[in-house]
Amino acid sequence: MAKKKEAPKQELPKVHDELDGFDIKINSFGEINRSIDIDKINEFLNKHMDDKKLRGRDESEK
């Protein structure tokens, strides 16, 4: 008798506390569906990530 292989349980990825509950999927039409508004994601990235292209710029150059 052949043993049935159980599908491995998918664990939720670890995310920052501010992005708790974040989930992203791509549907059959190629559309990105996410559980958090894109503006909130961009705000988080602006606050926590360094943009290499903007290094060395003075505030007056903006």
pLDDT in tens, 3-62: 777 767 777 778 888 888 888 899 999 999 999 899 999 999 888 888 888 777 766 555
Q: The pTM is what?
A: 0.57
- Dihedral over Cα of 48, 31, 26, 35: its sign: positive
- In this prediction, residue 31 carries a pLDDT of 94
Q: Is 16 helix (H, G, I), strand (E, B) or coil?
A: coil
Structural domain boundaries in the chain: 15-48
Q: How far apart are CA 32 and CA 4, in angstroms?
A: 33
